[in-house]
Amino acid sequence: MMEQYKIVEIQDLGNKDYKDTWDYQEDLFKQILDIKIKNRREDAGLRTPNYLLFVEHPHVYTLGKSGDMNNLLLDESQLQEKGAKFYKINRGGDITYHGPGQIVGYPILDLENFFTDIHKYLRLLEEMIIRTLAEYDIVATRSKGETGVWLDVGTPFARKICAMGVRASRWVTMHGFAFNINADLGYFDNIIPCGINDKAVTSLNVELGKQKVDENEVKEKLIAHFLDLFEAEIIKKAKTF
């Protein structure tokens, strides 16, 4: 096995269309897979890169490969009225919403550079969010059998603040997490989020009683916890495409 390469390039894509970003993820994903295939066939000894993309999407609903279309409560004309798009995609999980005021993170990692355990990978992503919320004096936890990060689990007031859904092939990951910071929660009324109809959704600004939370500050906290949990180093790079 190649020596582990725990350098992660962080790219902040700004506000980008979902499909364009998905295509970009697929390009990076394929580049890593191609290097791994070359290494195995030719013993090339090439290092595989790792990326963490931050992005904010215009209003969009996405349905995972195991999702139920009935969890989208809008038809095509209603989507257009709300200025939202809809895509069926190749991650795990059911339906979710992305939009302004949400930090979406896409780690595109070769897990062989870190560890080969998808369960651990998801738990570390959750822990990154949990630790970030703790810096705002918010106690967040996991909900058994439900991926993501939650508040007040086990009470009638349980609510999700961060959704997660990933894809992995040959230990290379894509897709990731959607962390509500200043999100318009009304858009969640148009779906049954993640197929769970008995729990609410929340956003950091709502929990803090603030009109707006500094999203760049949150990103910096996320990066710090990501590096600690994955024992990684970073290269920061602004990227547009």
Q: What is the pLDDT of residues 93-138, one digit of tens each?
A: 788 899 999 999 999 999 999 999 999 999 999 999 999 999 999 9
pLDDT at 109: 98
Q: 209: annotated binding-site residue?
A: no
Q: Does the residue 29 lie in any domain?
A: yes
- The residue behind tokens 């092939």 is 169
Q: 176: annotated binding-site residue?
A: yes
pLDDT tens digits, 48-94:
999 999 999 999 999 988 788 888 999 889 999 999 999 998 887 78
Q: How many helices (H) and strands (E) does the chain have?
A: 5, 12
Say whether pLDDT at 241 is over 60.
Answer: no
Q: 64: annotated binding-site residue?
A: no
Report the alpha-carbon distance of residue 162 to residue 106 in Å, rounded: 13
**Residue 170 sits in a domain of what CATH number?**
3.30.930.10
Q: Residue 65 gets which letter from DSSP?
A: T
Q: Which residues contact 237 (CB under 8 A, 6 or more apart)?
A: 9, 10, 11
Q: Does the residue 2 lie in any domain?
A: no
Catalytic, 162? Answer no
Q: Does the residue 1 lie in any domain?
A: no
Q: 138: annotated binding-site residue?
A: no
Report the alpha-carbon distance of residue 192 to residue 42 in Å, rounded: 48
Length of the chain: 241
Average pLDDT over residues 166-184: 96
- Residue from 194, 204, 223, 232 carrying the catalytic annotation: 194
Q: Which residues contact 175 (CB under 8 A, 6 or more apart)?
A: 25, 89, 91, 106, 165, 166, 167
Q: Does the residue 133 lie in any domain?
A: yes
Q: Does the residue 60 lie in any domain?
A: yes
Q: Which residues contact 231 (CB under 8 A, 6 or more apart)?
A: 6, 114
Q: Does the residue 188 lie in any domain?
A: yes
Q: Does the residue 144 lie in any domain?
A: yes
Q: 164: annotated binding-site residue?
A: yes
pLDDT at 195: 57
What Å distances lie between residue 140 and 93, 121, 153, 193, CA to CA? Answer: 21, 18, 8, 18
Q: Does the residue 160 lie in any domain?
A: yes
How many of the other CB atoms lie within 10 Å of CB of 20? Answer: 13
Share of the chain above pLDDT 90, in %: 79
Q: 165: annotated binding-site residue?
A: yes
Q: How many domains does the chain have?
A: 1
Q: Is the pTM of this model over 0.75?
A: yes
Which domain, by its residues, includes 118? 7-238
